Amino acid sequence: MALEIATLGGGCFWCTEAVFQQIRGVKRVEPGYSGGKTHNPRYEQISQGDTGHAEVVRLMFDTAVISYRSLLELFFTIHDPTTLNRQGNDVGTQYRSVIYFHTPEQQAMARQVMKATARLRDEPLVTELAVVPVFYPAEDYHHNYFRLNNQHDYCTLVVAPKVSKARQFFVKTVAA
């Protein structure tokens, strides 16, 4: 098993966590915060938008089962990479579209996928691409949020449609 780490931010981490937990080959999904100036930030600070951190997920995945490219293609399917600091009704820098690469190979692949994605969009991509900064795990109550709270209004209205969309477009990689 060849494990690799990816760190992605595409809006609320409840959505991205729920989607990537469904993907065959993704061994672990951890919500957290990266890219800001505050050390050991808490959700209350992040939600104010003053820390500079983005809500992200850190994925551990098996490259023999799913490629980094496939993860990025899924990432661009489940969020809007053309809206600056916003995903739907979630507004603020903490909801920005961001790819934090861990290796030069990830950086090169992200550039390729971003270029291909940009050709399919009417608006320019605003996705940030940067070397991975410090990752701060989110508080425990954010972990497995959709699985534990799938009847919550936000989960029903926002998270569930993204999970469904991921299943439609990536049927072959979705865990049974």
Residue pLDDT, tens place only, 11-22: 999 999 999 999
The 3-10 sheet, strands edge to edge: 128-131, 97-101, 3-10, 54-62, 26-34, 135-137
On whether the CB atoms of residues 44 and 58 are closer than 8 A, the answer is no
Residue-wise burial string across 36-54, b where 16 or more C-beta atoms lie within 10 A, e elsewhere: beeeebeeebbeeeebbbb
Q: Give 1's contacts (C-beta < 8 A, 6+ positions apart).
A: 62, 64
Q: How far is CA 38 from CA 23, 35, 51, 84, 97, in A?
A: 32, 9, 6, 21, 19
If you average pLDDT over residues 152-170, what whole number do you get? 84
On whether the CB atoms of residues 142 and 31 are closer than 8 A, the answer is yes
CA angle 109–95–139, rounded 5-degree value: 100
Banded model confidence at residue 5, pLDDT cuts 50, 70, 90: very high
Structure tokens at 102: 């861990």
If you average pLDDT over residues 117-124, what whole number do you get? 93
On whether the CB atoms of residues 38 and 91 are closer than 8 A, the answer is no
Q: What is the pTM of this model?
A: 0.92
What's the confidence (pLDDT) of residue 155?
A: 86
Structure tokens at 131: 């070397």
Mode of pairing for the β-strands spanning 54-62 and 86-87: unpaired
Arithmetic mean of pLDDT over the chain: 92
Structure tokens at 58: 């850190």
- Taken in order of first residue, the domains within the chain and their CATH numbers are 3-173 (3.30.1060.10)
Residue pLDDT, tens place only, 54-77: 999 999 999 999 999 999 999 999
3-state secondary structure of 35: coil
Q: How far is CA 60 from CA 31, 97, 140, 151, in A?
A: 12, 19, 18, 27
Please identify every residue annotated as catalytic. Answer: 12
Is residue 170 predicted with pLDDT exceeding 90? Answer: no
What's the confidence (pLDDT) of residue 49?
A: 87
Rounded Cα gap, residues 55 and 58, in angstroms: 10
